[in-house]
Amino acid sequence: MCGIVGILGLHEVAPTLVEALRRLEYRGYDSAGIATLNDGRLDRRRAVGKLVNLSDLLVHEPLAGKAGIGHTRWATHGAPTLSNTHPHRAGPVAVVHNGIIENYRELRADLAAKGIAHETDTDTETVALLTRYHLEQGLSPVDAARRTLERLEGAYALLFLFDGEPDLMIAARKGSPLAVGHGAGEMFVGSDAIALAPMTDRVTYLEEGDIAVVTRDSLTITDADGAVVERPVKTIRLSNARIDKAGHKHFMAKEVAEQPAVIGDALGHYLSADGRDVVLPGTTLDFNRIERLTMVACGTAYYACLTAKYWFEQLAGLPVDVDIASEFRYREPPITPGTAALFVSQSGETADTLAALRYCRDKADTILSVVNVDESSIARESDLALPILAGPEIGVASTKGFTCQLTVLLLLAIKAAQVRGTMDEEAVADLLSHLRGLPAAISQALEMDEALQQAARHLSEHDHALFLGRGLMFPMALEGALKLKEISYIHAEAYASGELKHGPIALIDKKMPVVIMAPRDALFDKTVSNMQEVMARGGKVMLITDRAGAAVADEGTWHLLVMPEVDPVLTPLLYAIPAQLLAYHTAVAKGTDVDQPRNLAKSVTVE
Ligand code: F6R
């Protein structure tokens, strides 16, 4: 979603602002703009579409100035037009905003009553108009911004820049993250540390309700109660180099290829030195006292939870509820004593997941999270945040984030099984030894790239696809369909194979490819029966199975993709790979924007 950056610099800031916005591109956007202060006067350039349009504009109409703010906009209120593009300006103030001002209609009405008209469709414009009004009432820029912020309801990360104030930037956080970067005589503000990484590695994260008054050599933060507070300066580990494609055509391809390494990192972090035990660093979590696990997430992270349900229930005998965060938060489900609530989020900022966590705050016995971003809101509001150690995920479609989530969730389920006595020491050690072999099996699966590319070429000629799977492969079918639709725009749906006869079989014809994920496990024969039913009706079957499965069920398939064999418990981690590569190559064959698919945002910080 929207990305924000601000710089009080020593040199011209326009090129650095654009470069920082480029590093925020991954969040998803449909227009971009910057405003700078040149000789004390605000000026701005904005362009609809990709950042290259803004860069081109700046070549023809450069912007001078050593202080500036910038924004990539993912449209919420109003279409992605020039007039709706940020920064929004009202006389002497310019603002950029990530989030939603929920009471903007009321604010507009108040402004209209004062004879102040709005010119754009955005909620953000009201922030600029209100601040100009407060300035006209004689308030200083800091007081005018404060007075405006007092009126806002909803979620925001906001930056303000003022005419005649080249050494002042005001930043405010409520619901959307903001980080302040410390330079030598320079200050930076960004939506995340990735944006700031080339400029500084010293960062202060604003907390909920904070307002920061930033100058080139000072940072004064007041908290939600108006008290001046000290927030720590942290050194971030992100290096410039980690945000490149490392020779791959797309970030997604790089991130798919990284999976053996990052899963290895996660295993290294959570396994004891002898590899026979799961160690949850710095925790007193006691699975004997947990009677029920409630897991909540969105999208791909939700499918990771669905997979983990099988693991927690089958390995540890622990009852699990899994819910979509946007449903959970408004359904107000009862949380019974003995419930641990577990939230899974790559970004750690997904608005619905965060709201679900806050709903559980005083109801669940403990709040756990599985996150990729250590400093994220979800991590910080959890009793125990378990990092997945995937490294920055830039492609909008989650890949390594998903498999690292699965890795950590499986380790947690094994720990639960061990503590609850449903797996003995030997069984745990045996499963962990298989798990240690997983990075090698994933590397082998990645070698199927060419076969998947060929299958994808054929798949790309279709408008629809069905994905089927049973047991642990059902969530993988859901994930495969989601990956395919989000980056190739092919309409794809997934069903538990056993559901086929209850409706979806009516869709089967020659134009409906059916992707079936089925390692030769206890449920294999049943899935093969469903596959026969599809083929009997002229459906084209792409079967993804292992050697044992291929030996008995290759006849009549449209495509047969043969995977390495792993312990049945680990199959989701392995079968995620063909699901990802199939979607990736189909998107490449169709020529879509793989890393930034239309309409999608990486970090969904609004409802
Ligand atoms: C799909 C995808 C999304 C995210 C979802 C949750 O490829 O990436 O479905 O999984 O938006 O995001 P996080 O994990 O950041 O909470």
**Contact between 55 and 18 (Cβ < 8 Å):** yes
Structure tokens at 495: 């069903």
Q: Is residue 606 in a domain?
A: no
The pLDDT value given to residue 1: 79
Given a cut of 90, whether residue 241 has pLDDT beyond it is no
Residues 314, 272 within the same domain: yes
Q: Is residue 436 in a domain?
A: no
Once rounded to an integer, what is the mean pLDDT over residues 214-220? Answer: 97
Tally of domains in the chain: 3
- 121: domain CATH number? 3.60.20.10
Q: At what angle do helices 571-590 and 449-459 cross, to 10 degrees?
A: 50
Give 382-393 pLDDT, tens digit per residue.
Answer: 999 999 999 999
d(CA 209, CA 529): 57
Residues 158, 307 within the same domain: no
Confidence tier at 603 by pLDDT (50, 70, 90): confident
Ligand 1 touching residue 255 (CB < 6 A): no
Q: From the alpha carbon of 302, which atom of ligand 1 is closest?
A: 10
Q: From the alpha carbon of 396, which atom of ligand 1 is closest?
A: 8
DSSP of 183-250, one letter per residue?
-SS-EEEESSHHHHTTT-SEEEEPPTT-EEEEETTEEEEE-TTS-EE----EE----GGGGS-TT-SS
CA of 303 to the centre of ligand 1 (A): 10
Alpha carbon nearest to ligand 1 atom 10, residue = 300
From 2, 298, 360, 404, active-site residue? 2
Domain that holds residue 485: 445-595
Between 198 and 386, where is the model more confident? 386
Domain boundary among 235, 268, 297: 235
Domain boundary among 204, 235, 266: 235
CA pseudo-torsion sign 445, 449, 450, 453: positive
Q: Is residue 265 in a domain?
A: yes
Name the phi and psi angles at 561, rounded to 5.
-115, 120
- 272: domain CATH number? 3.40.50.10490
Residues 167, 36 within the same domain: yes
CA of 325 to the centre of ligand 1 (A): 12
Give 10-47 pLDDT, tens digit per residue.
Answer: 999 999 999 999 989 888 899 999 999 999 999 999 99
Give 457-472 pLDDT, tens digit per residue.
Answer: 999 999 999 999 999 9
Residues 230, 259 within the same domain: no
d(CA 418, CA 580): 32
CA of 176 to the centre of ligand 1 (A): 16
Alpha carbon nearest to ligand 1 atom 11, residue = 299
Q: Is residue 33 in a domain?
A: yes
Share of the chain above pLDDT 90, in %: 88
Residues 276, 400 within the same domain: yes
Once rounded to an integer, what is the mean pLDDT over residues 500-505? Answer: 94
d(CA 444, CA 205): 41
Residues 211, 320 within the same domain: no
The pLDDT value given to residue 285: 87
Give yes or no: 2 in active site: yes
Write the CB contacts of 496 (distance below 8 Å, at least 6 apart in sequence).
468, 469, 470, 474, 477
Given a cut of 70, whether residue 238 has pLDDT beyond it is no
d(CA 285, CA 521): 33
Q: From the alpha carbon of 297, which atom of ligand 1 is closest?
A: 16
Q: Is residue 437 in a domain?
A: no
Give yes or no: 602 in active site: yes
Give 161-191 pLDDT, tens digit per residue.
Answer: 999 999 999 999 998 889 999 999 999 999 9
How far, rounded to the nearest angstrom, does the alpha carbon of residue 297 sit from its chain's CA centroid? 11
Given a cut of 90, whether residue 605 has pLDDT beyond it is no
Ligand 1 touching residue 399 (CB < 6 A): no
DSSP of 490-553, one letter per residue?
-EEEEEEGGGGGGTGGGG-STT-EEEEE--SSTTHHHHHHHHHHHHHTT-EEEEEEEHHHHHHH
CA of 42 to the centre of ligand 1 (A): 37
The pLDDT value given to residue 239: 53
Give 251-281 pLDDT, tens digit per residue.
Answer: 999 999 999 999 999 999 999 999 999 999 7
Give burial (CB, 10 Å; 0-12/13-18/19+) of 231.
middle
CA of 491 to the centre of ligand 1 (A): 18
Give 59-101 pLDDT, tens digit per residue.
Answer: 999 999 999 999 999 988 889 999 999 999 999 999 999 999 9
**Contact between 13 and 135 (Cβ < 8 Å):** no
Q: Is residue 67 in a domain?
A: yes
Residues 217, 257 within the same domain: no
Give 503-530 pLDDT, tens digit per residue.
Answer: 999 999 999 999 999 999 999 999 999 9
- Give the global pTM: 0.88
Alpha helices in 382-506 (DSSP H): 400-420, 425-436, 438-446, 449-459, 473-488
d(CA 489, CA 591): 11
Residues 259, 228 within the same domain: no
Given a cut of 70, whether residue 103 has pLDDT beyond it is yes
Residues 375, 328 within the same domain: yes
Q: From the alpha carbon of 298, which atom of ligand 1 is closest?
A: 6
Q: Is residue 429 in a domain?
A: no
Q: Is residue 23 in a domain?
A: yes
Residue type, 554: D
Residues 70, 96 within the same domain: yes
Residues 254, 222 within the same domain: no
Residue type, 90: A
- DSSP letter, residue 117: P
Residues 81, 16 within the same domain: yes
Domain boundary among 203, 235, 267: 235
